[in-house]
Amino acid sequence: TRVFWGTAWTSKTLLAREMRAARKAEMRDGIRRVFKLDADEVAEEVPAYGNYVAEQVAKLGRNHPMVKTQYYSEEIDAEGGMFPLARMAMMQGNHLPSNAPKDDSLYALLVDVAGEDEGVGDDGDIDSLVNRRRDSTAVTVVEVDLLTLDDELINAPTYRVVQRHEWVGIKHTKLYGKIKALFEHWKASYIVVDATGVGTGLYSFLDSALPGSVIPYVFTSKSKSDLGWGFLAVIETGRYKEYKGSGDEDREAARIQKVFWMQVENCQSRVLDGPGKLMRWGVPDGTRDVGTGNLVHDDMLISAAMCWVLDDETWGMAKSMVIDAVDPLQDLEF
């Protein structure tokens, strides 16, 4: 007798294959071999576990892969599109893009850094590039809504995208000036910046100029996997929202937003076997827009995903005021 137990995760794991074989055997002889429980059934016997699962669902979302597999014994596809239509619909907000900060609002910048190209003009003009296959440096400006911090189960902000920028091949010394100017324009609280490889220099420039406001993110297989899982949690809990088109945006803003959604549609993910459940995700190399034939990258998507890093920061708004002191001599008689 052999006993297999655990979480199936995907249809390609050993446990999932053995479950299918056991079910076929059940159909032949009627002897039950598969015993499958989900969180709701366990919660009937252990209410405390049900409360714990409810907390995880609130933090990650019911359709987050971790929740579906770990708590509800549902298999997920090991490979496939990372953003199905239902998830993309959850990303769409009702707010409009903006070019300036609002009073009493908080903002942050999310920066995915590309390499620089000596063949590009100082303005980052894409048409002047010799190598058109390069990624761009993408900046996502998000408004940070603290209302969801009041939810004891979620306890994290909501992020609304209000503006995007991209520069291709621009020298990092000039890129530093542009990003610093954006930070000051939006009165941003934080910048999350890709500090991997060539991004290290840009991070150092910004950190020296804006101490305490710059958060480095170094990409490795593990950290990119964490970012992917974290971004899905932000989306599935309704805390990430893209701006909607108003028809009044300038042509460049409309173009950038179209490119972003193209990257979302073409993003693929793969969950690796093993206890770490590392997820490889991104737009596959060589992917092209079927309409234009242009290469599709994932720089804007990765920039957007970096909002998850902000979940670990301390948020709040403070106002200064003068409190009139009581005159200590006013009640004394002389």
- The pLDDT tens digits of the residues spanning 15-62 come to 778 888 888 888 888 888 888 888 888 888 888 988 888 888 887 778
For the chain, what is the domain count?
A: 2
Q: Lowest-pLDDT range, 261-265, 270-274, 276-280, 320-324?
A: 320-324
Element (H, E) at 158: strand 158-167
Q: Are residues 226 and 115 in the same domain?
A: yes
Q: Are residues 222 and 240 in the same domain?
A: yes
Q: How confident is the model at residue 263 (pLDDT cuts 50, 70, 90)?
A: very high
Q: How confident is the model at residue 298 (pLDDT cuts 50, 70, 90)?
A: very high
Cβ proximity of 213 and 189 under 8 Å: yes
Taking all residues of the chain, what is their mean pLDDT, rounded to a whole number? 84
Burial classification of residue 107, based on how many CB atoms lie within 10 Å of its CB (0-12 exposed, 13-18 middle, 19 or more buried): buried
- Is residue 321 one of the residues assigned to a domain? no
Q: Lowest-pLDDT range, 20-24, 132-136, 219-223, 225-229?
A: 132-136
- Is residue 169 one of the residues assigned to a domain? yes
Q: Are residues 207 and 171 in the same domain?
A: yes
Q: Lowest-pLDDT range, 75-84, 163-172, 183-192, 316-325?
A: 316-325
DSSP three-state, residue 119: coil
CA 16 to chain centre: 29
Q: Are residues 294 and 270 in the same domain?
A: yes
On the question of pLDDT at 116 being above 70, the answer is no
On the question of pLDDT at 308 being above 80, the answer is yes
The residue out of 70, 88, 106 marking a domain boundary is 70
Q: How confident is the model at residue 12 (pLDDT cuts 50, 70, 90)?
A: low
Q: Are residues 175 and 64 in the same domain?
A: no
Structure tokens that stand for 305 in this block: 């995903």
Q: Are residues 63 and 167 in the same domain?
A: no
Predicted confidence at residue 35, as pLDDT, reads: 85
- 16-25's contacts with Cβ under 8 Å and 24+ in sequence apart are 16/75
- Is residue 318 one of the residues assigned to a domain? no
d(CA 184, CA 189): 10
Predicted confidence at residue 71, as pLDDT, reads: 82
Structure tokens that stand for 220 in this block: 């490795």
Cβ proximity of 68 and 44 under 8 Å: no
- Is residue 326 one of the residues assigned to a domain? no
Q: Are residues 20 and 102 in the same domain?
A: no
Q: What is the pLDDT of residues 117-142, one digit of tens each?
A: 433 344 444 333 333 344 689 999 99
Q: Are residues 208 and 233 in the same domain?
A: yes
What's the whole-model pTM score?
0.76
Give every CB contact of residue 149 below 8 A, 6+ residues apart in sequence: 155, 156, 157, 315
Q: Where do we find the tokens 């549609």?
A: 265
Q: Which is higher by pLDDT, 245 or 108? A: 108
Q: Are residues 294 and 157 in the same domain?
A: yes
Of the candidates 48, 83, 49, 51, the residue with the CA atom closest to the CA atom of residue 65: 83
Predicted confidence at residue 20, as pLDDT, reads: 82
Q: Are residues 61 and 83 in the same domain?
A: no
Question: Domain range holding 215?
Answer: 79-312
Q: Which is higher by pLDDT, 12 or 224? A: 224
